[in-house]
Amino acid sequence: MALQLLVNCIDNALIYVLVGLGLSLIVRISHTMHFSYAAISTLGSVIALQYYHKLGLVAVLAGVLFGSSLAISLECLIFSPVRKRGDPMAELLASLGGFIIISNSMAFVWGNSIISFHDNTSKVYSIGQIYVTSGMCQRLIISSLLILFFLLILNKTQIGIRLKAIGSNRDLAVIYGLDTRLLYILATTICSLMLISASLLGALDKGIRTTDGLSLFLAGIVIVWIAGTKSIPTILLTALGIAALQSLAAWYLGGIWVDIAVYSILVLFLTISGRKQSILIG
């Protein structure tokens, strides 16, 4: 049983790592939690799942492209002009507006029933006493590749160095002649790619509802809050810790306690650390 719990926990952690990495990037450069990503990630995967039976992998690509394009449009038309005023609260409120519009548009078009892959017959393999689904294997491979891609972009390319520079000191980055507008768009693209992928991978076995984005987003917030935005190993470890606690909560207490477990970690962390840690975001 302990081994099965560990496998489930790693499986969940892979999704949270993607969310945590994506959000850490956007929080690092904008210093704001963008709630609109909670809806954008769900929208991308809903489009992919809705049309998968007709278009196959093209639908997945379309979902990712549509979600990312929407995120870029929001960045250019709303967040960027609001950010220039230098009021992070206004940016947060604008992102809430974006969240409301996108999530309700989804509910208007597709309702609130579960949308899943039409060939949703995940194969189950048994290795000793451990059961592994084909969805778990896909999650392991795809999320590993995405994490690798993220690490490469951030640590081995000029784009990554420039993104870090904006995160550290935006004004200085502007003085040095960096094209901040383009870099914000790139960060938005990478973040939406990570979040849509996470949402899609999470939906492989159990499908998705148009309202599911908030729970994933809450987990992402907690990870970024605890781990900060700069240390990728800390993000990995925090994601693993949250997934472990969730697995234990789901195993012993039931499904509804999963999100409550995540919030409890946040509460515990706030009680211990207070304001010091939150400066990482603010």
Q: Which among 66, 41, 36, 30 has a CA at the least distance from the CA of 181?
A: 30
Q: Is 259 in the site for another protein (CB under 8 A)?
A: yes
Cα(280)–Cα(276) distance, integer angstroms: 8
Q: Is 105 in the site for another protein (CB under 8 A)?
A: yes
Q: Is 281 in the site for another protein (CB under 8 A)?
A: yes
State whether residue 209 is helix, strand or coil.
coil
Q: Which helix (H) or strand (E) holds 127?
A: strand 124-127
Among 45-53, 147-155, 201-209, 259-267, which window interacts with another protein (CB under 8 A)? Answer: 259-267
Of the two residues 117 and 217, which places its CB atom closer to another protein in the complex?
217
Q: Is 57 in the site for another protein (CB under 8 A)?
A: no
Cα(82)–Cα(248) distance, integer angstroms: 42
Footprint on residues 218-257 left by another protein (CB under 8 A): 218, 221-222, 225, 256
Q: Which among 278, 202, 266 has a CA at the least distance from the CA of 238?
A: 266
**Strand ranges (E), the chain:** 124-127, 130-133
Residue with tokens 């409301």, as numbered in its chain = 100
At closest approach, how far in Å is the CB of 148 from another protein?
A: 29
Q: Which residues bind another protein (CB under 8 A)?
A: 31-33, 78, 81-82, 85, 87-90, 92-94, 96-101, 104-105, 107-108, 111, 214-215, 218, 221-222, 225, 256, 259-260, 263, 266-267, 270-271, 274-275, 278-279, 281-282
